[in-house]
């Protein structure tokens, strides 16, 4: 039996991928694990490995083709096997892929396995018995995640019970959130997932994460529009300017040393200075909503959470994966998540959904010895913080010069969205928070 | 066939000839002068008066139907009106000698008979009795409407009669039975007027049954089935002839009950069955009176009489009543008559010529009879003119009142929405339909069957959990017997008949032992005449008795289709509750006997409003439901599965009680508690469901709750809904073929009533939509335990590890439906 290889769906929002290179061609022998082809989305590129050994019987697309996800790309099997059944349908006569196919794919590439909505039938509505539906509703369970075992793919009572036992329950408030961030385990009554669980959720790095809908759209006031126009006009397309500051890094360095000492016994992450800065940013930003925002022209989108973009230098160039709802993560969790997304970005396995949706970005050139720079805003965000290296500075303490470790911060902000004073106040507050980091943690 | 009758080959094989006597046709030749001995002048004139009332009544209706107006009264009557202008002499002649104890049963064309019989009764009743009847009827409601300034009680009573009949025809609540019968079903019991019937010939078996009641219960009077010449074409009419004339009445019944049934099958022979010309076209008899010759040696005392001469009809009736009083009935009368108008006002008369109608009109009785009386100087012309004026005034006055919605409202189903609903069943508990000693042949405790049953184990499972052997266990058939014999010793009116019930004890031995207990007149073998069996039971109950009859196989229900579906079911409600119908119809559902002897037709019965239907599956329920059925006043179709007659009681703790108890009709019973899936069964399928439940429990750890419907109509859903709320899943199963099974109706109701609790649609497992094959193939036809599990697996809740062997998939369902199989 020949085995088709499909174009994987790398994230819920990805509809198609471009084949960038064929490593095998029709007629080639392939062994399980061989790279068949490389492909990329608009955000990341991937290699597809052979799921089985055999001969490459058929190849349906060429390099450069934009292939709809889940379509068969090639077929591997025994020489001479009939592959006609696998030829993908031309556009317009598309046939739904059997449900097993993506599941199979997921099994082969566990890092990319979506936490699937289990019962999404081709005809567009979920089959569920009234009893199962009632039970799900009473128990605050989102039945979409139930594995249907009834006739014709119907979710029946036992499926809801199974789902409940597997721990995925929601408070009604959290149901919508779970849809965006599945995989969260509940800590509420009876194991229910509540909104607070999302705040502390270590979202799986490869999960098809949707940006949190935590924002409010407000009309840009006329004065703001005038300022924006002026600023924009003065600075051509962008109204960016950068403020620099420096703070006493003693507190955070002491804290980091403390973590390092106790890491193993407390089971903590390797919390870096960058993580500490990220944490401080995530806790400081909410007070400065114009910086935790997207400039959308006629509207400004103010976020109620801090979706922190983390600029990462990768072999493919700069990528900015997002740590969602960073303000709701503990320092330890933030550290863990930021490392995970950085690592995925560097290895190229980053879920494309994680490459967008940030409300503010932090970029760190400190390790490269940079002491001050002008980071460029990632539109439509309104600000980006550059983190620089540690320097030794002196200050007067009780009439004496005293050396201390200092860190420079460079904030670039969009003057269309806010003015200089609030940006400076943010930087000042951030610096103060970092200098009194342990106090901030106590909050 | 009793052993006392010897089928002697030497006698039976002897050569010989059947000799027929002459059948008289129109032999009446008396003059008025000769009849003066029988009639006073007043009598002669009253006969004219009664005929004139009928003529004007029908003329009024004809005018209303065709012109929407009569004598200045505008009215539209959309209901039927089969008129009898021309037939007045037949009706009045017949009624003349009859008293209120004599019952007439009519046809769709019986307005004239009602009025004639009513006026005859009025003439015979004394004023006080008459007034009491009117005052007591419907709490005097009709009396209040008609009571004005009449000169006499009899005049008042005629107003009462004409109004009550017309209001009934106009479907008014002030009609004789609240307008629920109407033109074709009107009646008035206090005057001996029993229901007319819209089914051609429908009254034949019913009148025979009422006559049976009179004979068995030694009541005065005779019964008359007034049906038309067209009805001779109907089988049930012939069944009724034979049923009324069976040899056993003279050869086997006890001395004081000897003789055929006191019934006259009178044919108002107006020469047409609707448009079919009976004589010369659709019938073979030539002269209708001939048919009596084929029924019995007495040739049913058949005679043709000239129905255009009231005195000839009276003369004939006098002789026929005598025959019946001498226990020589039954009788056939061919009362020759003619209707001037069509079958109904919509009849264009395309089947006869105006000349023919004219020729009969030349002998019109109102003209010829009055002329004879004038000639004989009994009365003068002016007297008849005055009568005509009075009659017209009477009909005009009555029509005005009956047409007036203020005086004569229709049922207000807005104000009283359950007015018809509450008449569908009488729901009474009456231990006996009459007081008096019960005619039995021995004390019950001496009955051999009763003694044999006393030695049986009343619970079917012994101490070790093993079934008690068939020979020792109190069986389903014993349970029925116990209930039935008990009633025979309590209700003196109770009788039973059916095919092979006596001597044989019924094909399934339910009645074994009753032969010893009961005289012939309380239990006898019926001819193989399902229509007559059921139709006569209807008549027996109408006349005031209680009866239990049986159809040997459910498949024979079709043979008694009209009697079950139109008569048994409807008379309580069509009579607005004036009639009770304490009839238990035992119906044995076959197995092993192929396509025409193994069908469960309970769904057909359930479809017909007015019938109660039960289908017990255990001895306890059989006895309890039979007791309840025999205690009630409603018709109960009592289904019994032939698979279960020898089964013992497995559920009721302590076994089947010896004492009297009832199982309430309409209450299902949980035979096994469970939590995961509900199985609702009707009839013998209960045991398949229990097997399925065993397998589900043992192999798949699924706990099934098994509910036995026990009753089909009425049906209390409470327990079922409660169960479905618990399990969320239900399979319904019975031996009825799946298409249009009553289970579909139940499934639909459950879907509506428990929708939010359902985990899957209710699934009906019925027999295939095939003929019932031979016994060896029945497992492919009747639901088996694995079908039930398959249905759960395929349609409700796939069972891990289970492999279905029958096809319950959507595609299969669609395929079968498409093919109609």
B449 band by pLDDT with thresholds 50, 70 and 90: very high
Pairs across A and B, CB distance < 8 A: 40
| Chain A residues with CB-CB distance to B814 below 8 A | none
Specify the residue for token string 């039945």.
Answer: A143
Pairing of strands A54-59, A3-6: unpaired
Closest Cα in chain A, distance from residue B816 (Å): 19
SS3 A164: helix
CA nearest to B695, candidates B803, B767, B606: B803
Say if residues B636 and B614 touch (Cβ distance below 8 Å). yes
Q: Do A150 and B794 touch (CB under 8 A)?
A: no
Pairing of strands B73-74, B69-70: antiparallel
> What is the spatial distance between Cα A341 and Cα A321, in angstroms, rounded to a whole number?
6
The H or E element containing residue A39 is: strand A35-40
Q: What is the largest CA-CA distance in chain A?
A: 89
pLDDT at residue A97, rounded to an integer: 42
Judge if A141 and A246 occupy the same domain.
Answer: no
B753 touches chain A (CB under 8 A): no
- For position A166, which CATH number holds? 4.10.320.10
Nearest Cβ partner for A134 among B756, B794, B798? B756
B652 touches chain A (CB under 8 A): no
Tokens found for residue A318: 């700069």
Query: Is A16 part of a structural domain of the chain?
Result: yes
Nearest Cβ partner for A131 among B759, B795, B810? B759
Using beta carbons and an 8 Å cutoff, which residues of A are at the interface with B?
129-132, 134, 149-152, 154, 156-158
**Is A96 or B597 the better-scoring residue by pLDDT?**
B597
Q: Do A151 and B798 touch (CB under 8 A)?
A: yes
Closest Cα in chain A, distance from residue B428 (Å): 41
pLDDT at residue A83, rounded to an integer: 86
Query: Is A347 part of a structural domain of the chain?
Result: yes
Give the best residue of A123, A128, A131 to mutate against chain B (max B CB count within 10 A).
A131
Closest Cα in chain A, distance from residue B705 (Å): 17
* Cross-strand partners of B681: B708, B733
Over residues B389-411, the mean pLDDT reads 97
Judge if A85 and A136 occupy the same domain.
Answer: no
**Phi, psi torsion values for A302, nearest 5 degrees:** -95, 125
Residues 6 or more apart in contact with residue B354 via CB below 8 angstroms: none
CA angle B15, B17, B20 (to 5 degrees): 165
Q: Do B759 and A156 touch (CB under 8 A)?
A: yes
CA nearest to A71, candidates A101, A115, A33: A101
Q: Do B759 and A151 touch (CB under 8 A)?
A: no
> What is the spatial distance between Cα A108 and Cα A118, in angstroms, rounded to a whole number?
18
All structural domains of chain B with their residue ranges: 24-411, 444-641, 669-819
Give the best residue of B700, B759, B808 to mutate against chain A (max A CB count within 10 A).
B759
B756 touches chain A (CB under 8 A): yes
Query: Is A119 part of a structural domain of the chain?
Result: no
Q: Where is the domain boundary, A138, A167, A199?
A: A199
Judge if A180 and A237 occupy the same domain.
Answer: no
Report in angstroms the alpha-carbon separations of A175 from A158, A162, B335, B562, B574.
Answer: 20, 17, 86, 62, 60
The H or E element containing residue B513 is: none
Specify the residue for token string 């919508």.
Answer: A176
Say yes or no: domain B669-819 is CATH 3.40.50.920.
yes
Residue B593, Cβ density class (10 Å: 0-12 exposed, 13-18 middle, ≥19 buried): middle
SS3 B548: strand
SS3 B209: helix
Closest Cα in chain A, distance from residue B810 (Å): 9
B798 touches chain A (CB under 8 A): yes
Say if residues A376 and A411 touch (Cβ distance below 8 Å). no
Q: Do B759 and A149 touch (CB under 8 A)?
A: no
* Torsion B395-B397-B399-B401 (CA) sign: negative
Judge if A55 and A79 occupy the same domain.
Answer: yes
Q: Do A157 and B794 touch (CB under 8 A)?
A: no
> What is the spatial distance between Cα B487 and Cα B512, in angstroms, rounded to a whole number?
16
Judge if A348 and A268 occupy the same domain.
Answer: yes
Q: Do B758 and A150 touch (CB under 8 A)?
A: no
Q: Domain B444-641 adopts which CATH fold? A: Rossmann fold (3.40.50)
CA angle A278, A281, A286 (to 5 degrees): 140
| Chain B residues with CB-CB distance to A131 below 8 A | 728, 756-759
CA nearest to A273, candidates A293, A241, A289, A249: A249
**Is B419 or A207 the better-scoring residue by pLDDT?**
B419
Judge if A162 and A273 occupy the same domain.
Answer: no
Domains B24-411 and B444-641 share a fold: yes
Nearest Cβ partner for B756 among A130, A151, A156? A130
| Chain A residues with CB-CB distance to B796 below 8 A | 150-151, 156
Lowest mean pLDDT: which of A18-27, B89-98, B136-145, B728-737? A18-27
Closest Cα in chain B, distance from residue A181 (Å): 29
| Chain A residues with CB-CB distance to B758 below 8 A | 129-131
B90 band by pLDDT with thresholds 50, 70 and 90: very high
| Chain A residues with CB-CB distance to B759 below 8 A | 129-132, 150, 156-157
Tokens found for residue B76: 């539209």
What pLDDT, in 10s, does the model give residues B167-188?
999 999 999 999 999 999 999 9
Task: Report how many domains make up chain A.
Answer: 3
Judge if A257 and A385 occupy the same domain.
Answer: yes
Judge if A315 and A279 occupy the same domain.
Answer: yes
What pLDDT, in 10s, does the model give residues B302-350?
999 999 999 999 999 999 999 999 999 999 999 999 999 988 877 778 8
pLDDT at residue B431, rounded to an integer: 97
Estimate the share of chain A in helix, then strand, then coil, as percent rounded to the nearest 5: 35, 25, 40
pLDDT for B371 beyond 90: yes
Say yes or no: domain B24-411 is CATH 3.40.50.970.
yes
> What is the spatial distance between Cα B630 and Cα B547, in angstroms, rounded to a whole number?
8
B759 touches chain A (CB under 8 A): yes
Query: Is A360 part of a structural domain of the chain?
Result: yes
Q: Do A150 and B756 touch (CB under 8 A)?
A: no
Q: Is the ipTM of this complex over 0.85?
A: no
B795 touches chain A (CB under 8 A): yes
Mean pLDDT of chain B: 96
Over residues B61-72, the mean pLDDT reads 93
What is the 8-class DSSP label of residue A221? P
pLDDT at residue A229, rounded to an integer: 63
Judge if A263 and A313 occupy the same domain.
Answer: yes
- Concatenating the DSSP letter of every residue in B3-69 gives TTS---HHHHTS---------EES-----HHHHTTT--HHHHHHHHHHHHHHHHHHHHHHHHHHHSE
CA nearest to B197, candidates B568, B721, B681: B568
pLDDT at residue B549, rounded to an integer: 98
All residue ranges of chain A with pLDDT < 70 are 11-13, 42-43, 90-124, 167-214, 219, 221-238
Query: Is A123 part of a structural domain of the chain?
Result: no
Q: Do A130 and B794 touch (CB under 8 A)?
A: no
Alpha helix (H) ranges present in B648-702?
Answer: 685-700
Residues of B with catalytic function: 597
| Chain A residues with CB-CB distance to B812 below 8 A | none
Judge if A263 and A342 occupy the same domain.
Answer: yes
Closest Cα in chain A, distance from residue B756 (Å): 5
Say if residues B59 and B364 touch (Cβ distance below 8 Å). no
B810 touches chain A (CB under 8 A): yes
Query: Is A209 part of a structural domain of the chain?
Result: no
Question: What is the domain extent for residue A221?
Answer: 215-442
What pLDDT, in 10s, does the model give residues B26-47?
999 999 999 999 999 999 999 9
Query: Is A435 part of a structural domain of the chain?
Result: yes
pLDDT at residue B414, rounded to an integer: 95
- For position A29, which CATH number holds? 2.40.50.100
Lay out the sheet containing A35-40: strands in order across: A45-49, A35-40, A16-22, A66-68
Closest Cα in chain A, distance from residue B778 (Å): 28
> What is the spatial distance between Cα A372 and Cα A202, in angstroms, rounded to a whole number?
33
């Amino acid at each position: 039996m020949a085995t088709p290889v499909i174009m994987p769906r790398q994230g819920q929002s990805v509809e198609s991928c471009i084949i960038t290179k064929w490593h095998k061609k029709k007629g080639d022998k392939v062994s399980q694990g061989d790279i068949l082809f490389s492909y990329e989305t608009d955000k990341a590129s991937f290699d597809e490995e052979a799921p089985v050994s055999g001969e490459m019987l058929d190849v349906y697309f060429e390099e450069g083709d934009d292939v709809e996800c889940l379509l068969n790309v090639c077929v591997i099997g025994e020489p001479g096997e009939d592959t006609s059944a696998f030829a993908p349908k031309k556009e317009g006569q598309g046939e739904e892929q059997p449900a097993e196919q993506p599941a199979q794919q997921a099994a082969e590439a566990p890092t990319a396995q979506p936490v699937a909505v289990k019962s999404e039938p081709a005809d567009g509505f979920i089959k569920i018995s009234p009893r199962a539906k009632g039970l799900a509703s009473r128990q605050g369970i989102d039945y979409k995640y139930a594995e249907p075992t009834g006739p014709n793919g119907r979710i029946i009572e036992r499926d809801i019970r199974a789902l409940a036992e597997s721990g995925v329950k929601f408070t009604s408030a959290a149901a919508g959130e779970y849809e965006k961030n599945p995989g969260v385990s509940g800590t509420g009554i009876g194991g229910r997932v509540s909104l607070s669980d999302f705040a502390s959720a270590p979202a799986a790095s490869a999960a098809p994460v949707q940006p949190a809908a935590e924002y409010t759209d407000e009309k840009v006031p006329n004065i703001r529009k005038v300022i924006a126009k002026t600023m924009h006009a003065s600075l051509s397309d962008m109204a960016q300017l950068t403020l620099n500051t420096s703070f006493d890094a003693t507190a955070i360095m002491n804290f980091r040393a403390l973590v390092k000492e106790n890491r193993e016994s407390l089971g903590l992450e390797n919390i870096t200075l960058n993580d500490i800065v990220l944490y401080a940013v995530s806790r400081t930003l909410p007070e400065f909503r114009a910086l935790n925002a997207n400039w959308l022209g006629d509207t400004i989108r103010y976020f109620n959470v801090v979706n922190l973009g983390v600029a990462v230098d990768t072999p493919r160039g700069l990528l900015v994966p997002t740590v969602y709802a960073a303000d709701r993560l503990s320092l330890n969790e933030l550290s863990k998540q930021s490392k995970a997304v950085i690592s995925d970005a560097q290895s190229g396995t980053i879920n494309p959904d994680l490459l967008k949706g940030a409300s503010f970005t932090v970029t760190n050139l400190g390790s490269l010895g940079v002491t001050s720079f002008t980071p460029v805003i990632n539109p439509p965000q309104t600000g980006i913080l550059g983190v620089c290296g540690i320097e030794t500075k002196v200050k007067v303490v009780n009439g004496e010069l005293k050396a201390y470790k200092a860190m420079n911060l460079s904030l670039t902000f969009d003057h269309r969205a806010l003015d200089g004073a609030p940006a400076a106040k943010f930087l000042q507050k951030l610096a103060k928070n970092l200098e009194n980091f342990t106090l901030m943690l106590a909050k | 066939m009793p052993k006392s009758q010897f089928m002697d080959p030497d006698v039976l094989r002897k050569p010989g000839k059947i000799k027929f006597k002459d059948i008289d046709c129109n032999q009446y030749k008396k003059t008025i002068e000769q009849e003066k001995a029988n009639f006073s002048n007043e009598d002669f004139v009253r006969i004219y008066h009664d005929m004139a009332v009928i003529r004007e009544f029908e003329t009024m209706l004809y005018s209303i139907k065709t012109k929407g107006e009569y004598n200045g009264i505008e009215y539209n009557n959309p209901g039927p009106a089969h008129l009898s202008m021309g037939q007045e002499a037949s009706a009045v002649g017949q009624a003349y000698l009859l008293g209120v104890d004599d019952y007439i049963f009519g046809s769709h064309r019986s307005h004239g008979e009602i009025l004639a019989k009513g006026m005859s009764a009025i003439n015979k009743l004394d004023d006080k009795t008459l007034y009491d009847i009117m005052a007591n009827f419907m709490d005097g409601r009709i009396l209040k409407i008609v009571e004005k300034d009449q000169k006499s009680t009899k005049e008042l009573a005629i107003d009462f009669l004409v109004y009550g009949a017309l209001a009934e025809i106009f479907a008014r609540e002030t009609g004789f039975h609240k307008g629920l019968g109407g033109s074709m079903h009107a009646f008035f019991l206090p005057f001996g007027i029993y229901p007319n019937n819209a089914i051609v010939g429908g009254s034949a078996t019913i009148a025979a049954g009422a006559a049976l009641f009179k004979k068995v219960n030694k009541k005065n009077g005779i019964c008359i089935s007034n049906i038309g010449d067209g009805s001779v074409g109907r089988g049930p009419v012939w069944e009724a002839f034979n049923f009324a004339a069976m040899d056993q009445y003279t050869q086997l019944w006890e001395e004081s009950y000897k003789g055929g049934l006191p019934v006259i099958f009178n044919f108002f022979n107006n020469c047409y069955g609707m448009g079919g010309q009976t004589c010369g076209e659709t019938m073979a008899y030539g002269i209708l009176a001939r048919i009596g010759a084929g029924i019995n040696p007495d040739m049913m005392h058949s005679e043709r009489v000239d129905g255009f001469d009231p005195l000839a009809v009276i003369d004939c009736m006098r002789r026929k009543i005598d025959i019946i009083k001498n226990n020589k009935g039954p009788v056939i009368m061919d009362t020759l008559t003619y209707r001037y108008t069509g079958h109904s006002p919509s009849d264009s008369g395309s089947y006869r010529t105006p000349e023919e109608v004219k020729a009969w009109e030349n002998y019109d009785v109102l003209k010829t009879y009055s002329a004879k009386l004038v000639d004989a100087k009994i009365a003068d012309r002016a007297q008849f003119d005055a009568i005509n004026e009075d009659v017209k005034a009477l009909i005009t006055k009555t029509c005005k009142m009956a047409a007036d919605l203020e005086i004569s409202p229709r049922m207000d189903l807005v104000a009283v929405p359950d007015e018809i609903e509450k008449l569908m069943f009488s729901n009474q508990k009456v231990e006996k339909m009459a007081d008096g000693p019960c005619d039995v042949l021995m004390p019950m405790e001496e009955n051999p069957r009763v003694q044999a049953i006393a030695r049986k184990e009343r619970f079917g499972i012994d101490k070790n959990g093993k079934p008690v052997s068939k020979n020792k266990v109190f069986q389903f058939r014993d349970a029925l017997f116990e209930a039935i014999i008990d009633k025979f010793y309590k209700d003196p009116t109770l009788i039973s008949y059916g095919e092979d019930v006596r001597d044989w004890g019924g094909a399934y031995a339910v009645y074994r032992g009753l032969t010893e207990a009961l005289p012939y007149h309380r239990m006898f073998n019926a001819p193989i005449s399902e229509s007559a069996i059921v139709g006569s039971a209807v008549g027996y109950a109408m006349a005031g008795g209680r009866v239990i009859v049986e159809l040997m196989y459910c498949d024979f229900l079709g043979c008694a289709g009209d009697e079950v579906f139109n008569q048994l079911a409807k008379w309580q409600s069509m009579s607005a509750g004036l009639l009770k119908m304490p009839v238990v119809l035992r119906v044995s559902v076959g197995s092993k006997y192929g396509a025409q002897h193994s069908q469960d037709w309970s769904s057909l019965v359930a479809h017909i409003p007015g019938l109660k239907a039960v289908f017990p599956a255990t001895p306890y329920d059989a006895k309890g439901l039979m007791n309840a059925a025999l205690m009630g006043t409603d018709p109960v179709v009592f289904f019994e599965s032939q698979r279960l007659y020898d089964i013992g009681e497995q559920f009721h703790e302590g076994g089947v009680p010896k004492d009297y108890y009832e199982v309430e009709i309409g209450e299902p019973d949980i035979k096994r508690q469970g939590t995961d899936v509900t199985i609702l069964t009707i009839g013998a399928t209960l045991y398949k469901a229990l097997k399925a439940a065993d397998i589900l429990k043992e192999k798949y750890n699924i706990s099934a709750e098994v509910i036995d419907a026990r009753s089909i109509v009425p049906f209390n859903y409470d327990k079922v809904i409660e169960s479905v709320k618990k399990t969320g899943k239900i399979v319904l199963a019975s031996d009825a073929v799946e298409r249009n099974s009553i289970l579909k109706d139940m499934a639909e109701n459950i879907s509506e009533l428990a929708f939010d609790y359902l985990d899957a649609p209710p699934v009906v497992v019925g027999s295939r939509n095939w003929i019932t094959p031979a016994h060896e193939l029945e497992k492919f036809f009747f639901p088996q335990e694995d079908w039930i599990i398959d249905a759960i697996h395929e349609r409700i809740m796939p069972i891990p590890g289970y492999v279905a062997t029958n096809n319950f998939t959507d595609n299969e369902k669609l395929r079968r439906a498409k093919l109609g199989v």
